């Protein structure tokens, strides 16, 4: 058995559109954090802490070290993650939209198939015909619940501004094609399923046509679907013959959730 990691990290040093901060409390500093938190539970404790009293001192610990602690402040759309219908709108298919914690886990471990779309340019969209052609090249017919991975190669730009500006989007016809085949989850190695902001916003400002803004995302209000964003290492996968595992982190009432996505060969 071979496992290939298909996930990108949550990295505060990488270029991001949204602020990402990871507070890293070292082993040496951990004891001070412990005292501040525990003693800060009561007014008397706060006063004693301010006066220099400590309930645990570094001398009380092995090697004068406590436990490390990392506190992550980041949107759920940073790092590899699954989007569900609540992200797209308050309703989907006329019903209240579902949050990421409601994603059925049985959908998140299934046969995977990779479709090579690396020829598509950043200002283009991937349509149903592109999917059909890609599947024909690998002589494969989709079956219900397959997890479809769309390979563009955009993950090579991760950590740079181009990661947010140079990738193709997904056309609604492609989403319909997958859903009509019984697909529950599909994934992309781009930062989003719509074309980059620079194309959408430019066209919207010229035409004032709201259909130019996030058409793939907003389509989730009409038809319910789940997609994975920010995959990586799809170039290391065969076209088929592997399993995909993409269990979302159980975060309450969010439209997306981080996931450690992997392929099992």
pLDDT by position in tens, the chain (length 265): 999 999 999 999 999 989 999 999 999 998 999 999 999 999 998 999 999 999 999 899 899 899 999 999 999 999 999 999 999 999 999 999 999 999 999 999 999 999 999 999 998 999 999 999 999 999 999 999 999 999 999 999 999 999 999 999 999 999 999 999 999 999 999 999 999 999 998 988 999 988 889 999 999 999 999 999 999 999 999 999 999 999 999 999 999 999 999 999 9
In terms of domains, do 118 and 45 share one? Answer: no
- Scored b (16 or more CB within 10 A) or e, 139-178 reads ebebeeebbbbbbbbbbebbeeeebbebbbbbbbebbbbb
Residue 123 has a pLDDT of: 87
d(CA 20, CA 18): 6
How many domains, the chain? 2
- Scored b (16 or more CB within 10 A) or e, 73-94 reads ebbbbbbbbbbbbbbbeeebee
Residue 190 has a pLDDT of: 97
d(CA 261, CA 253): 21
Residue 210 has a pLDDT of: 87
Residue 74 has a pLDDT of: 95
Residue 104 has a pLDDT of: 96
Residue 238 has a pLDDT of: 97
In terms of domains, do 8 and 57 share one? Answer: no
In terms of domains, do 40 and 117 share one? Answer: no
In terms of domains, do 87 and 56 share one? Answer: no
Report yes or no: 179 and 131 within 8 Å, Cβ to Cβ: no
Residue 194 has a pLDDT of: 96
Report yes or no: 78 and 10 within 8 Å, Cβ to Cβ: yes
In terms of domains, do 103 and 169 share one? Answer: yes
CATH number of the domain encompassing residue 222: 3.50.30.50
In terms of domains, do 133 and 253 share one? Answer: yes
In terms of domains, do 185 and 234 share one? Answer: yes
In terms of domains, do 65 and 133 share one? Answer: no
In terms of domains, do 193 and 69 share one? Answer: no
In terms of domains, do 40 and 158 share one? Answer: no
d(CA 259, CA 250): 10
Question: Could you say which DSSP state residue 195 is in?
Answer: P
Report yes or no: 212 and 125 within 8 Å, Cβ to Cβ: no
- Domain with 122, as residue range(s), is 3-15+76-264
Residue 231 has a pLDDT of: 98
In terms of domains, do 175 and 83 share one? Answer: yes
In terms of domains, do 43 and 157 share one? Answer: no
Residue 128 has a pLDDT of: 98
């Amino acid at each position: 058995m071979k496992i290939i990691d298909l996930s990108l990290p949550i990295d505060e040093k990488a270029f991001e559109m949204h602020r990402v901060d990871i507070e890293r409390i070292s082993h040496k500093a951990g004891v001070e954090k412990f005292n501040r938190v525990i003693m800060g539970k009561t007014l008397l404790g706060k006063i004693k802490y301010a006066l220099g009293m400590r309930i645990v001192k570094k001398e009380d610990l092995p090697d004068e070290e406590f436990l490390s602690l990392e506190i992550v402040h980041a949107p759920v759309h940073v790092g590899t993650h699954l989007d569900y219908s609540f992200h797209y709108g308050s309703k989907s298919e006329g019903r209240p939209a579902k949050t990421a914690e409601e994603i059925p886990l049985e959908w998140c471990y299934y046969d995977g198939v990779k479709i090579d779309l690396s020829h598509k340019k950043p200002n283009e969209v991937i349509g149903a015909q592109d999917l059909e052609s890609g599947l024909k090249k690998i002589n494969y017919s989709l079956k219900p619940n397959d997890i479809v991975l769309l390979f563009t190669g955009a993950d090579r730009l991760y950590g740079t501004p181009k990661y947010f500006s140079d990738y193709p989007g997904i056309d609604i016809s492609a989403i319909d094609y997958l859903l009509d085949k019984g697909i529950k989850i599909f994934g992309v190695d781009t930062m989003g399923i719509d074309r980059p902001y620079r194309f959408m916003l430019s066209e919207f400002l010229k035409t004032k046509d709201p259909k130019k803004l996030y058409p793939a995302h907003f389509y989730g209000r009409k038809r319910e679907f789940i997609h994975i964003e920010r995959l990586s290492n799809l170039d290391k996968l065969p076209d088929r013959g592997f399993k995909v595992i993409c269990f979302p982190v159980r975060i309450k009432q969010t439209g997306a959730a981080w996931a450690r996505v992997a392929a099992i060969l």
